[in-house]
């Protein structure tokens, strides 16, 4: 049976989404671990929940086989996982991002086997590739965000950031004047780094422009979550002189970005989500306890570490992304586990309100 360890981590302002779920009276605890049924050596890169019965995840299979490596799109219907068809002759390579505005409007992004970024739109019946003419061989896309009538994907073109926008069928691709790579986008913010310090762009007045960020040599950002104009959180890390990585968390208060102190040790922070009521969760990996699933939950200036005990056969678990399940008061984090033979297995870790003990204790 897995256990829950609470660790005071860091203080942050309240953040995120737009659901009206009541707060559970009990705290989150690890619930269970499952697989999205990927083929051998599979890993999940991103996850997005429209509801507890409509969850999407993307990743890749056959990681170590150049001939078998391919992207995959998986859907959870409340009972089981199934693979969604990709209707494209060239096929998708590694898929990195997924988002949706409705059950019939799901977007994924990643690599195409033809060297052009792979962008697709679909639903449970299958996905069709979307080919903006502005994309070209060598471009890279890693993050995506969609709102009704508008989709934005971010990445890099040569040595600069790249922002691809689709509005009602019309597409634009903008190489930013800022050097670097953008890894994630949410609402008005896109985040990444320039190889030395974090990079954040803000969308205002119909243009993306860089905004001041605390000077953090060696810093990078891998995900961002916005909650209106006055709250946003960005997560990543800082490469240190001793060759290790410290966690990095930046918070937006509506006027500026500030670095938040953490007591999260050397944990790697990869993905962030929220419930729209001031609580958020961060998925990652803790090298101090590598075989345990690792998620941070933060609320009212205090954070706790949610983790499970090691599972037989796992030498490490990396959770790459996390999503909130509306109506459940729970979150799912996805990624992969690695065994002692360096074989990958995709994982979906569930954290939610701790169920009452039927004995009354």
Instruction: Give me the pLDDT at residue 178, please.
Output: 95
Residue ranges with strand state E in 213-313: 219-226, 232-239, 245-252, 257-259, 268-274, 280-285, 294-299, 302-307
Classify residue 291 by its DSSP letter: T
Q: What is the helix (H) or strand (E) element at residue 147, kind and residue range?
A: strand 140-147
What value, to the nearest 5°, has the Cα angle with vertex 201 and ends 243 and 157?
A: 75
Give the integer Cα–Cα distance in Å for 91 and 165: 22
Instruction: Give me the pLDDT at residue 21, please.
Output: 42
Instruction: Give me the pLDDT at residue 67, please.
Output: 65
What value, to the nearest 5°, has the Cα angle with vertex 125 and ends 119 and 129?
A: 20
Instruction: Give me the pLDDT at residue 307, please.
Output: 87
Instruction: Give me the pLDDT at residue 7, please.
Output: 32
Instruction: Give me the pLDDT at residue 355, please.
Output: 57
Give me 162's structure tokens: 């790249």
Instruction: Give me the pLDDT at residue 356, please.
Output: 46
Give the integer Cα–Cα distance in Å for 340 and 224: 33
Instruction: Give me the pLDDT at residue 15, please.
Output: 32
Name the nearest CA neighbour of 163 among 199, 194, 207, 131.
207
Instruction: Give me the pLDDT at residue 228, please.
Output: 73
Q: Which residues contact 355 (CB under 8 A, 6 or more apart)?
A: none
pLDDT of the chain, 361 residues: tens digit per residue: 333 333 323 333 333 333 334 444 345 778 889 999 998 899 999 999 999 999 999 999 988 776 678 999 999 999 999 999 999 877 899 999 999 999 999 999 999 999 999 999 999 999 999 999 999 999 999 999 999 999 999 999 999 999 999 998 899 999 999 999 999 999 999 999 999 999 999 999 999 999 999 999 999 999 999 987 778 899 999 999 888 999 999 989 899 999 987 767 889 999 999 988 878 899 999 999 999 999 988 776 667 889 877 888 899 999 999 999 988 889 999 999 999 889 999 999 999 876 543 333 2
- Top CATH class, 28-353: mainly beta
Q: Which residues contact 9 (CB under 8 A, 6 or more apart)?
A: 262, 263, 264, 296, 298, 303, 304, 305
Instruction: Give me the pLDDT at residue 90, please.
Output: 72
- For the chain, domain boundaries: 28-353
What percent of the residues of the chain are helix, what percent strand, and what percent coil, each to the nearest 5?
Answer: 0, 55, 45
Q: Is the pTM of this model over 0.85?
A: yes
Instruction: Give me the pLDDT at residue 301, please.
Output: 63
Instruction: Give me the pLDDT at residue 227, please.
Output: 82
């Amino acid at each position: 049976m897995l256990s829950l360890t609470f660790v005071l981590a860091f203080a942050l302002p309240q953040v995120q989404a737009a659901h009206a779920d009541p707060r559970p009276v009990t705290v989150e605890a690890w619930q269970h671990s499952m697989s999205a049924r990927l083929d051998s050596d599979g890993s999940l890169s991103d996850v997005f929940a429209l509801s507890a019965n409509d969850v999407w995840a993307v990743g890749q299979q056959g990681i170590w086989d150049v001939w078998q490596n391919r992207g995959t799109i998986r859907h959870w219907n409340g009972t089981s996982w199934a693979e969604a068809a990709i209707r494209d002759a060239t096929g998708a390579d590694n898929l990195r991002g997924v988002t949706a505005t409705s059950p019939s409007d799901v977007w994924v992004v990643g690599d195409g086997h033809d060297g052009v970024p792979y962008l697709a739109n679909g639903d449970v019946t299958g996905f069709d590739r979307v080919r903006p003419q502005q994309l070209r061989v060598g471009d890279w896309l890693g993050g995506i965000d969609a709102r009704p009538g508008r989709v934005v994907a971010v990445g890099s073109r040569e040595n600069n950031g790249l922002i691809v926008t689709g509005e009602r069928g019309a597409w634009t691709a903008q190489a930013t004047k800022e050097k670097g790579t953008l890894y994630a986008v949410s609402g008005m913010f896109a985040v990444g780094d320039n190889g030395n310090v974090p990079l954040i762009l803000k969308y205002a007045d119909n243009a993306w422009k860089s905004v001041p960020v605390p000077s953090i040599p060696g810093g990078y950002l891998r995900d961002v979550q916005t909650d209106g104009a006055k709250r946003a959180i960005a997560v990543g890390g800082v490469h240190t002189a001793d060759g290790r990585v410290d966690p990095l968390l930046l918070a937006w208060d509506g006027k500026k970005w500030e670095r938040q102190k953490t007591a999260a040790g050397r944990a790697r922070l990869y993905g962030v989500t929220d419930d729209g009521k001031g609580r958020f969760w961060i998925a990652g990996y803790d090298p101090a306890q590598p075989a345990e699933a690792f998620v941070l939950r933060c609320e009212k200036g205090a954070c706790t570490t949610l983790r499970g005990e090691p599972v037989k056969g796992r030498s490490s678990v990396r959770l790459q992304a996390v999503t909130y399940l509306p109506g459940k008061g729970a979150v799912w984090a996805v990624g992969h586990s690695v065994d002692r033979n360096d074989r990958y297995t995709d994982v979906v870790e569930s954290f939610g309100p701790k169920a009452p003990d039927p004995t009354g204790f």
